[in-house]
Structure 1
Amino acid sequence: MTTTPAWAERPTRVGALLKGTVLTLITLSVLFPIYMVVLTSLSTQETVTRAGGLVTVPGELSFAAYAELFDGGVVTRSVLVSLGVTGVGTAISLSVTVLAAYGLSRPGSLLHRPMLFLVLLTFLFGPGMIPSYLLISSLGLTDSYWALILPGAVTAFNLVVMRAFFMNIPEEVSDSARIDGASEFRILWRIVLPMSKGVVAVIGLFYAVGYWNSFFNAVLYLNDSAKWPLQVVLRQYVLQGQALVVGQSSTATIAGQGLPPSLAIQMAIVVVALLPVLFVYPFVQKHFTKGVIIGAVKG
């Protein structure tokens, strides 16, 4: 007689209702703060004053805060910096991770075990802030955009996950390509990568989100505020409450409206910081199970 596992049984009506209620509450607890942030960023001074802070009930709406942000001031510049660092950093990180993971997934590759041991060793020991700063300074990368990219170019976790995924690809496929005279780079480009779109998309998203949300390296290595990425601006002007000097014209008026409230500008910065991840994530979500769970089975 076979027994069905508890998690595979059909839920009762009470259980299904309870699960639906819990999931609904969790969803609302996530969406409601985002709703307040977006609504506040679109509110006028009168609406913000009447609400006494974050707006929960819609009033008069205005895009003055966004117009002020993208009027050529510090936020516009920081968005461009973040987009550039994220794009270049993700491309470099993916390229290095793919090459390293493919090399470490081949049992006969040069220094396979010692290099894999060094990668796994980084899970236990970190370099520390002071040695990292001294290294970046000695390389002349201080106050450079490369200081935002190179220190975190490769993550050991992402490398191990991608290596495990490559090891799940049947060796017979690569052997048949070698018999036909294909080089290792051609095998990687023509065979392995097309079969690994899921894990590449997931790891690419991990790197992109990491670069987009990173602020500590910028605070540590950048002295020129003109090179600040968006997350540092978010930290300085929203979390620490410093005065934000936006738009060159200082007159972001829409349909005769005056300057937007400072709280609306702060919340608009939060929205701008959230939008790229919210737009990209749905397109990559379908690859998560295949890219991460399968890639983590073998290693």
Structure 2
Amino acid sequence: MQKSRIDQSFYVLVYALTLLAVVITLYPFLYVVSVSLSSVEAIDKKLVTLFPVDFSLSGYRMVLQYPDLWRAYYNTIWYTVVGTVFNIVATCLAAYPLSRKRFFLRRKLNFYIAFTMYFSGGLIPLYMVITELGLYNTRWAMVLPVLVSTFNVMILRSAFENIPNEIFESASMDGAREFTLLFRLAIPLTKPTLAVLTLYYAVAHWNDFFNALLYLGKQELQPLQIFLRRVLIMASPEVLQKMGGETAATSLAVSTLQVRYVAIVVSILPIITIYPFIQKYFVKGITLGAVKG
């Protein structure tokens, strides 16, 4: 009975800490959404605490009519979709041979790949390589330099290693080649892990702004995060007047704080919409192949 009470106290403590973490994490997001949906007067008077006050879409109407937003949206979607497809293909092609024990370069390549997790050439040499390859101010500068994540390769390699070797041997006896083993057996059996890696890569591409700052000087190629950075850091009455597109009075009537929060909501909405469809694979995919036995 005493042990049971100790267990109950433990679970109560865990649930309380979890609830506290949820509240601390969720409140800033709810506040941002509430400010973006409140009236300018309520924001100026600091009446918004948790829920919207005097519901208004004026901030969204202003931000959504700015043409640079849609251009940045298109660029981000292109980088995310194309980059993620290339990432998954390259990660599969790298992880599969590393998971096969009969591959004679397996140990050496595992060492060299793991080595890059701790050491790199540095920012300036990487910039020089990108420039010399002619990738500067091109869309591929956002895709090729981050083609493979070493950490994700290790995760997928462990998932491939967890597949019983008898399955591959049986298919090989029936005449299956390595590409057939990869695309017909290994990939279908590790779909949860691939779903998680797809989410990792997609979120990384969607949030990437540092590479865009380095390699994209043309504004027409810059992603949504650069647009968001300009709104958050460089917002001024002149910028707001340009964004409004009507009159200076209309533009300046919208709170700078509201414009910033509206831009945040608009930029994260697609990822939040997609995540619930992948969330069920998250735990299963990340633990697949993690335990041997």
Normalising by structure 2, we get a TM-score of 0.89
Q: Answer yes or no: is the 8 Å Cα contact 1:64–1:259 preserved in 2.
A: no
Shift of 1:85: 0.3
Selected match of 1:48 from 36, 43, 49: 43
Gap runs ≥5 in structure 2: none
Q: 1 CA distance for matches of 2:114 and 2:211?
A: 23
Superposition pairs of residues 6-17 of structure 1, within 5 angstroms? 12-17=7-12
Mapping of residues 108-119 of structure 1, within 5 Å: 108-109=102-103, 111-119=105-113
Output the CA distance in 2 between the equivalents of 1:129 and 1:286: 37
Q: 1:158-197, aligned counterparts within 5 Å? A: 158-197=152-191
Once the two structures are TM-superposed, the CA of residue 223 in structure 1 deviates from its matched residue by: 0.8
1:186-265 mapped onto 2 (5 Å cutoff): 186-241=180-235, 244=239, 250-251=245-246, 260-265=254-259
1:74 positional shift: 1.4
Other structure's SS at 1:51 match: coil
Deviation at 1:94, TM superposition (A): 0.2
1:135 aligns with 2:129: yes
Pick from 11, 22, 29: which aligns with 2:24?
A: 29
Q: CA deviation at 1:59?
A: 1.7
Q: What is the Cα deviation at residue 281 of structure 1? A: 2.3
Moved more, 187-196 or 242-251: 242-251
Q: Which residue of 2 aligns with 1:3?
A: none
- Answer yes or no: is the 8 Å Cα contact 1:48–1:55 preserved in 2: no
| Higher fraction of helix | 2
Q: Which residue of 2 aligns with 1:286?
A: 280
- Structure 2 match to 1:271: 265
CA–CA distance in structure 1, aligned partners of residues 35 and 149 of structure 2: 37
CA-to-partner distance for each residue in 1:173-215, whole Å, 9 max, x for gaps? Answer: 0111111111211121111111101110011111111111111
Q: 1:108 to 1:271 in 2, by over 3 A?
A: same
The percent of aligned pairs where both chains have the same amino acid is 35
Q: Deviations over 1:139-159 (max 9, x none)?
A: 011111111111111010000
SS at match of 2:45: helix
Q: What secondary structure does 2:230 align onto? A: helix
Report the alpha carbon displacement of residue 90 of structure 1 after superposing the two structures with TM. 0.3
TM-score of the aligned structures, taking structure 1 as reference length: 0.87
Shift of 1:268: 1.0
> What displacement does 1:57 show?
5.1
Using the TM superposition, give the Cα deviation of residue 248 of structure 1 relative to its aligned residue in structure 2, in angstroms.
7.2
| Cα RMSD after superposing both structures | 2.6
Counterpart position of 1:147: 141
3-state SS of paired residue (2:288)? helix
- Asked if the contact 1:74/1:247 (under 8 Å) is kept, the reply is no
CA distance in 2, matches of 1:119, 1:85: 25
> 1:258 and 1:232, CA in 2 relative to 1: closer, same or farther beyond 3 A?
closer
Work out the CA distance in 2 between the residues paired with 1:38 and 1:85.
26
Structure 1 gaps, min length 5: 1-5
Distance 2:279 2:263 in 1: 25
Q: Distance in 2 between matches of 1:237 and 1:136?
A: 28
State the alpha-carbon separation in 1 of the partners of residues 180 and 62 from structure 2. 50
Closer, same or farther: CA 43–95 of 1 in aligned 2, 3 Å:
same
Distance 1:244 1:70 in 2: 14
Contact 1:97/1:159 (<8 A) preserved: yes
Distance 2:81 2:11 in 1: 43
